[in-house]
Amino acid sequence: MEKRVYEVWKGRNNFCLGGRLIFGPDARSILVSASMIIVPVIIFCNFIGKHLLHEFPSYNAGYMIVVAPYLFTIYVLVLLLLTSSRDPGIVPRNLHPPEEELNSVAGGNKTPSIQLPRTKEVVVNGVSVRVKYCDTCMLYRPPRCSHCSICNNCVERFDHHCPWVGQCIGLRNYRFFFLFVSSSTLLCIYVFSMSALYIKILMRDYNGTIWAAMRESPLAVVLMAYCFISLWFVGGLTGFHLYLISSNQTTYENFRYRSDNRMNVYDQGCAGNFREVFCTKIKPSRNKFRAFMQEVHRPPPPATTSRESGGEESGPEDRRVKVEDDMDLGGDLLKVSQRHHDIKDIYSRHHSSSEFDSVLGSDTHDLLNAMNSHVHESRNYAAPMTFV
């Protein structure tokens, strides 16, 4: 039985519904977080809210006291699910170290031991930014990308790994995470305020002190205390993330670079930063978890001609295998490039060049493009990387 991508996934993720949902390794914490929201709301609606129904002039409007928190809780839980069950922005791992680096380091020769630059400089908004090489994912992390040690993946615009939602917070789920936290804050404020109102009504009805009212409804007191403590947490987090969004920082960058006084190259002004988080289209996932492994490394259709003279006819599929073998060796990239042009020559006689692009497969094509492009960078050599 042919395997799908999520079945041979190297990160520590949990998948549900045949790879449609992706969770972090600590996904069970979602159940704890959800029950910390659901249980207080149920207690409030059943033991406090129902006494408040008649306090409002219009009896039907009074029902909103209990209907509204239920509806809002569903909204908060949907946000929780959207945060924790989608790809946070995982950068797909490379099967091989980046060949353009090997090419420039090895100078086209097969070298048994090659030092790969540990960092390289890329230009972001006209400013040079240093990006690191990830040994696990075998790639140079894009700017703002970091490797999550809990999920074992490189995640774009990595914010932090949230144990409460059991998932990394990154480029593709930050918006939902912020809405989840801020909505939870509003729910907390609502339950706290309504419980306080109930205590006030009890004081009026019984002509008593606050202590007498609290003795009358200990559940309201417990809910107020619970919401007060939770507010420090979710309210504080909402305020902190409002500050981060306004200054276009991630939690990781804030903790890591706070003392460095670095210039923030991503800052577009307060309004622009909010627009970036809330009004831009979320990038599609770079991973096709449900694709079959063969689809990811799709073989090209058989060729009708061959330029090689003598021996058996060799189609592009055979050539591609050879190309990949060469990549395994990590050397002789000029030969690979030559074959790329050879195959393209053959193809251009029978097909359009766009067909050639789709046939070659994106990974190989990216690699060959990278080989043919001129890369400007400065290097910082550190630990050696050995290839056999």
Examine residue 138 and tell whether it contacts Zn ion (CB under 5 A): no
- Cα angle, residue 79 at apex, residues 76 and 84 outer, rounded to 5°: 130
Determine which residue in the list 22, 45, 48, 154 makes contact with Zn ion, applying CB under 5 A. 154
The identity of residue 208, as a single letter, is G
Catalytic residue positions?
162
Examine residue 150 and tell whether it contacts Zn ion (CB under 5 A): yes
Determine which residue in the list 80, 114, 131, 151 makes contact with Zn ion, applying CB under 5 A. 151
Instruction: Please state the closest distance from residue 383 (CB atom) to Zn ion, in A.
Output: 16
- Between CA 132 and CA 28 the distance in angstroms is 32
What part of residues 14-73 is at the interface with Zn ion (CB under 5 A)?
A: none
CB atoms within 10 A of CB 195: 27
Determine which residue in the list 161, 172, 241, 319 makes contact with Zn ion, applying CB under 5 A. 161
Examine residue 134 and tell whether it contacts Zn ion (CB under 5 A): yes
What part of residues 183-212 is at the interface with Zn ion (CB under 5 A)?
A: none
Examine residue 149 and tell whether it contacts Zn ion (CB under 5 A): no
Instruction: Please state the closest distance from residue 200 (CB atom) to Zn ion, in A.
Output: 44
Within a 13 Å sphere around the CA of 372, how many CA atoms are in the beta-carbon half?
13
Give 326 or 363: the residue with its C-beta nearer to Zn ion. 363
With CB under 5 A, what is the number of residues at the site for Zn ion? Answer: 10
Determine which residue in the list 45, 116, 145, 148 makes contact with Zn ion, applying CB under 5 A. 148
Examine residue 160 and tell whether it contacts Zn ion (CB under 5 A): no
Instruction: Please state the closest distance from residue 382 (CB atom) to Zn ion, in A.
Output: 17
Closest CA to 382 of 128, 127, 135, 103: 135
Examine residue 168 and tell whether it contacts Zn ion (CB under 5 A): yes
Examine residue 162 and tell whether it contacts Zn ion (CB under 5 A): no
Residue 54 CA, distance from chain mean position: 47
Give 161 or 319: the residue with its C-beta nearer to Zn ion. 161
Instruction: Please state the closest distance from residue 15 (CB atom) to Zn ion, in A.
Output: 15
**Paired tokens of 20:** 């449609």
Determine which residue in the list 12, 147, 290, 344 makes contact with Zn ion, applying CB under 5 A. 147
Binding site for Zn ion (CB under 5 A): 134, 136-137, 147-148, 150-151, 154, 161, 168
